[in-house]
Structure 1
């Protein structure tokens, strides 16, 4: 067997028609060894390609023993544990990192991101949305929307209230994986598929979408939209909106360098280099006309903001007298960020 992209054993939920609603993968594997793939080929009849193979209890037991015998004790132990599951089981194998074609395949890619096995824009997510059903996320798990009324009635007849927490295509990340070294004040505001770096704090109004996140130590008080990847030591002020563009191949990446500060109700539409500051309330779009200033605050030229993409040590501000947007070298912000993050 040749090299493959990813593999995982999962426990999921199906509707009454047998369609997958969601899948939980405890141990997703990136770039599994060819010998591991060979075990799946022998035991499950896998012949290649990107496949989601339904499993039963007896198959899990046999697969688990075969994996252990081949030297893959950890995955083998998981397969043996899955034998006792009362929910549907699946083995998902992605030979290539192509656009997902099944709901289990889509969920595996979201798991790879939240397990920090791949970073945003390092995995193809084109066509993801049609594969993810819109689901009622309840205290009894995922429920098909067409089946929700009957489930609510059944709960009432038993003297219970079925709690519907959200209606969405994406579940909470923390119901599937909790990355090490993070603080999340409101777990409902971080979706599965978010990459939350070690040392990140997400405050109550912070939000991280799928295919987005933080590389490391960061304070998130605003919104990190799909397509945005924030560098270490950055502070996203309360209510800020970072505007990224989702693309399966990563055609447009809105990145934020290390040690940046994006003020409250501020936002960006260009990638920032290290140690940049965007003044509170200021939205920097790619086509915005910006007055570039020298160290003495003299006008050098008027340029579009996209020309400053990825440049370090910049301060973006609005002139309170003229209303023009200005940009200059940001020496003071470097010191300010050092003070801010010493207290986080």
Structure 2
């Protein structure tokens, strides 16, 4: 077999009609070895392309032995273990990184992000929302919304309580993977598909959406929206908001460089370079007018915030007397003009 983008064995949940609600992939692979794909293809009849192939428990034992004999002990052991499952099984193979076309494919791509196998904006997620059913996430697993009333009644008749933790398209990341070296105070505030870098702390009011996250050591006390990727050593203050968008379709990708501080109740609509600070309570949108000051606090010119995108060592603040939004830098007026000319 030729090179493959991703492959994973999954165990999931289907509704009474046989539609997938969610899939858990314990060991997703990025760029698996062709020999491994070949063994699976021969056993399951895979002929190419992006496919989610139903896996019967009766196939697991033979497949596990074949994988172990070919030198893939870890995947072989997993396949053998799945032989004892009473839940639906699937093998999802992505020959190429294209827009997902099924719920198992969509869940595999979310797993790749949360397992840190790919970073935000490095995988195609176009069209993912229609593939993720709105699900009731309960103490008894994922339940189709239309089937929830009957399940609640059945639970009460058994003397049990069916607790509904949320109704959403995206589950909690930690119900599927807990990345190493992180602290998450409230796990309901980090979605599957978030990339949470080693050394990141997410406080109780912090939030990380799918296709977003932190590169490394960061303190998250506010919101990291989809499309935003925060560099190492940054501090996102309580209640801060970052207005990133998905990287498909020509949308702007919001990134935050290393060592940045975005104060409480502050937000950005432009990407920042390294060592930038946004004053608490200040919201910087791309089209907002900013008074650019040099290292001597002299006004150089008034520009739109988007002209400062990706620049480093900037301090954004609001003038307490005039109300004007200012950007302070450690560069001279000449250097600032050169910087803006080069940027434009």
* Structure 2: distance between partners of 1:275 and 1:317: 15
Alpha-carbon distance in structure 1 between the residues aligned to 2:320 and 2:40: 65
Q: 1:32 to 1:250 in 2, by over 3 A?
A: farther
Distance between the aligned counterparts of 1:199 and 1:65, measured in 2? 38
> Partner of 1:194 in structure 2?
194
1:308 and 1:298 map into 2 onto residues whose CA distance is: 17
2:133 — aligned with what? 133
Equivalent-residue separation in structure 2 for 1:50 and 1:248 (angstroms): 20
1:116-144 deviation digits (Å, cap 9, x = unpaired): 00000000000000000000000000000
Deviations 1:70-111 (A, max 9, x none): 111100100000000110000000001000001000000000
CA–CA separation in structure 2 for the residues paired with 1:179 and 1:73 = 23
Q: Distance in 2 between matches of 1:330 and 1:189?
A: 37
Deviations along 1:260-291, one digit per CA (max 9) or x if unpaired, are 00000000000000000000000111111110
Unaligned runs of 5+ in 1: 332-344
CA contact (8 A) 1:246 1:252 kept: yes
Secondary structure of 1:167 counterpart:
strand
Tell me, yes or no, if the aligned pair for 1:121 and 1:249 is still in contact at 8 Å.
no
Give yes or no for contact 1:100–1:127 (8 Å, CA) kept in 2: yes
Deviation, 1:330, is: 5.9
Gaps of 5+ in 2: 332-344
Please, what TM-score do these two structures have when normalized by structure 2? 0.95
Alignment of 1:245-284 (within 5 A): 245-248=245-248, 251-284=251-284
C-alpha spacing 1:248/1:68, structure 2 compared with 1 (3 Å): farther
Shift of 1:249: 6.3
Aligned partner of 2:156 in structure 1 is 156
CA RMSD of aligned residues (A): 1.0
Residue aligning to 2:86? 86
- Residue 211 of structure 2 aligns with which residue? 211
- Asked if residue 22 in structure 1 is aligned to residue 22 in structure 2, the reply is yes
What is the TM-score when the length of structure 1 is the normalising length? 0.95
Does the CA-based 8 Å contact 2:295-2:330 persist in structure 1? no
Hey, what does 1:338 align to over in structure 2? none
Q: Which residue of 2 aligns with 1:325?
A: 325
- Aligned counterparts of 1:295 and 1:285: Cα–Cα separation in 2: 24
The 3 A distance-change label for structure 1 pair 257 and 113 is same
1:253 CA displacement: 1.0
Paired residue total: 331
SS of 1:320's equivalent in the other structure is coil
Write the distance in 2 (CA, Å) between the matches of 1:249 and 1:161. 45
Aligned to 1:339: none
Distance 1:330 1:110 in 2: 41
Q: Tell me if the contact between 1:124 and 1:249 (Cα under 8 Å) persists in the aligned partners.
A: no
Q: How does 1:298-309 map to 2 (within 5 A)?
A: 298-309=298-309
Question: SS where residue 216 of structure 2 aligns?
Answer: coil
1:152–1:162 contact (8 Å) kept in structure 2: yes
Partners of 2:92 and 2:41 in 1: how far apart? 12
Instruction: Return the offset for 1:250.
Output: 7.0
Where 2:84 maps in the other structure, the secondary structure is coil
Change (3 A) 1:76 1:4: same
